[in-house]
Amino acid sequence: MTRNAEAVLIAAVATLASIGVAMVQFAGGTWLDADVALTFIAFAFTFGLIHLAFRAWAPNANPLILPIAGFLAAVGFIEVFRIDPSLAALQRWWLAIAGISAALVVWLLRDSGVAVLRRYRYLFLAAAIGLLLLPLLPESWPIHGAVVNGSRLWVRVTVPFTDIDLSFQPGEVAKVLLTIFLASYLADRSEAMATVSRSIGPIRLPEPRHLGPVLVAAGAAFLVLMYQRDLGASLLLFALFIGMLYAATGRGVYVVSGLVAVVVAGVVAYQQFAHVRVRISAWLDPFADFTGAGYQTAQGLFAMGSGSLTGSGLGLGRPDLIPEATTDFVFAAVGEELGLAGSIAVITAYALFVTVGIGIALRCRDRFRKYLAGGLTILVGIQAFLIIAGVVRVLPITGLTTPLMSYGGSSLLASALILALLGRASHEERV
């Protein structure tokens, strides 16, 4: 029964995406063309495929997580289409690939369940670190790193015997693998880690050996990311570690020491890296260096301010004037064309996603599944929070993709993996 409701909601999501595309085309003065139908097909195929995979191999999966993700993907897609239809055409392929990948993961776990992942945690850790190191490969290799916007986050693969370059951001998938590792590690150790072994004054500390591997993993990830100048991903991973450690152990000392570490790291970064100082000053007063560092933030504010309560209407604003409006700043583009109504809808959808995801985790009796579902949800929630906070000036801009909404295959693929794992984890609790 719930699967049928999910199917209806997915049909609604596909309709929403195609109507959005139609409105953009109408506003642009061109008559509707194949884009409307192709968009419907892409969304129906992607989310329909995951839905069918759930039906076949995870029939008791939570029915809400897919439609909420679909809604966010649809709103993001409409803005990507509005800003650059050729990007949107590619995005449809990324959606399809993400859908196939998610279905594949559900199929692979059909008999073993997510528990199988627990056994291979060091493999995932190695894979994650390997992925994070990939962008450092020299330019002359067939698989090599590439610098985009000052950060070395991309990997380019030159397909042999052709001129075609494929690019992807391995960090996106690495985040999911690291979450799996962490969930697995904490499932084995969380009780020991929660046990107080010694006290220094009021501060009570667990055994150092329980913390060692986690700190090593975190440290390795950070070093790589700092070297690649990806502050957003560093902060995201750090928050994920802290969040998962706290959720698993209930020990406030992790949170406190985490916050202290963030402040110390922040001060050091501020003093050591010019690009960090620039970002901080652009955050405090984006209009001081309006044409330089503050330009993106200011353009985002102009866009959202122009959108006001109800927005300019789809296709009637100028979100194309915002730098990175298809990825980091897609939230500002939504705010401009759909107004405060649209922005609040997006924030609410993320809040719903977190609520549903944490709900899945709360119902899990198995420790690993609980931490996996919780960790993946925290990952999406914190990433959405950090990037939107950058757009609306609650925090400095960190440079992250907007989960599910941004243009980009790597980001969508990571989101699809999360959907598959959340669906499978929720199914296993209800069997």
Q: Does 403 bind other proteins (CB under 8 A)?
A: no
Return the range that interacts with other proteins (CB under 8 A); candidates 5-13, 175-183, 277-285, 382-390: 382-390
Q: Provide the minimum distance between the beta carbon of 121 and other proteins in the complex, in angstroms, as a whole number.
A: 20
Q: Are strands 143-148 and 151-158 parallel, antiparallel or unpaired?
A: antiparallel
Cα→Cα distances 78→7, 139, 180, 302, 419, Å: 21, 35, 32, 20, 21
Q: Does 382 bind other proteins (CB under 8 A)?
A: yes
Cα–Cα distance measured from residue 90 to residue 76, given in angstroms and rounded to the nearest whole number: 14
Q: Does 257 bind other proteins (CB under 8 A)?
A: no
Return the range that interacts with other proteins (CB under 8 A); candidates 199-207, 221-229, 373-381, 407-415: 373-381
Return the range that interacts with other proteins (CB under 8 A); candidates 36-44, 197-205, 354-362, 407-415: 354-362
Q: Does 280 bind other proteins (CB under 8 A)?
A: no
CA angle 290, 291, 293 (to 5 degrees): 75
Q: Provide the minimum distance between the beta carbon of 76 and other proteins in the complex, in angstroms, as a whole number.
A: 16
Q: Provide the minimum distance between the beta carbon of 21 and other proteins in the complex, in angstroms, as a whole number.
A: 18
Return the range that interacts with other proteins (CB under 8 A); candidates 8-16, 42-50, 140-148, 356-364: 356-364
Residue closest to 187 by CA, chosen among 366, 343, 38, 368 = 368
- The secondary structure of 384-422 as a DSSP string is HHHHHHHHTTSS-------TTTSS-HHHHHHHHHHHHHH
Return the range that interacts with other proteins (CB under 8 A); candidates 32-40, 73-81, 168-176, 305-313: 305-313
Return the range that interacts with other proteins (CB under 8 A); candidates 90-98, 338-346, 398-406, 417-425: 338-346
Residue from 18, 101, 151, 249 touching other proteins (CB under 8 A): that is 249
Q: Assess contact for 426 and 60: CB atoms under 8 A.
A: yes
Q: Does 358 bind other proteins (CB under 8 A)?
A: yes
Rg (CA), the chain: 22
User: What is the footprint of other proteins within residues 105-164 (CB under 8 A)?
Assistant: none
Binding map of other proteins across residues 67-86, x = CB under 8 A, - = no contact: --------------------
Return the range that interacts with other proteins (CB under 8 A); candidates 50-58, 103-111, 170-178, 335-343: 335-343
Query: Which residues have a Cβ under 8 Å from the Cβ of 252 and sit 6 or more positions away?
Result: 246
Query: Considering beta carbons, is residue 137 or 194 the nearer one to other proteins?
Result: 194
Q: Assess contact for 283 and 395: CB atoms under 8 A.
A: yes
* Backbone φ and ψ of 144, nearest 5°: -145, 165
Q: Does 211 bind other proteins (CB under 8 A)?
A: no
Residue from 354, 397, 405, 417 touching other proteins (CB under 8 A): that is 354
Query: Considering beta carbons, is residue 40 or 328 the nearer one to other proteins?
Result: 328
Cα–Cα distance measured from residue 254 to residue 293, given in angstroms and rounded to the nearest whole number: 34
Q: Does 62 bind other proteins (CB under 8 A)?
A: no
Residue closest to 319 by CA, chosen among 299, 290, 292 = 299
Residue from 52, 205, 306, 366 touching other proteins (CB under 8 A): that is 306
- The secondary structure of 131-192 as a DSSP string is HHHGGGS-TTSSEEEEEETTEEEEEEEEPTTS--EEEE-HHHHHHHHHHHHHHHHHHHHHHH
Q: Does 388 bind other proteins (CB under 8 A)?
A: yes
Residues facing 203 on adjacent strands: 200
Distance of CA 402 to the CA centre of its chain: 6
Alpha carbon distance, N-terminus to C-terminus of the chain: 16
Query: Which residues have a Cβ under 8 Å from the Cβ of 355 and sit 6 or more positions away?
Result: none
Q: Provide the minimum distance between the beta carbon of 250 and other proteins in the complex, in angstroms, as a whole number.
A: 4
Query: Considering beta carbons, is residue 70 or 307 the nearer one to other proteins?
Result: 307
Q: Assess contact for 345 and 327: CB atoms under 8 A.
A: no
Q: How many residues bind other proteins (CB under 8 A)?
A: 54
Interface with other proteins by CB under 8 A: which residues?
Answer: 27-30, 243, 246-250, 287, 290, 298-299, 301-309, 316-318, 321, 335, 339-340, 343-344, 347-348, 350-351, 354-355, 358, 361-362, 370, 374, 377-378, 381-382, 384-385, 388-389, 392-394
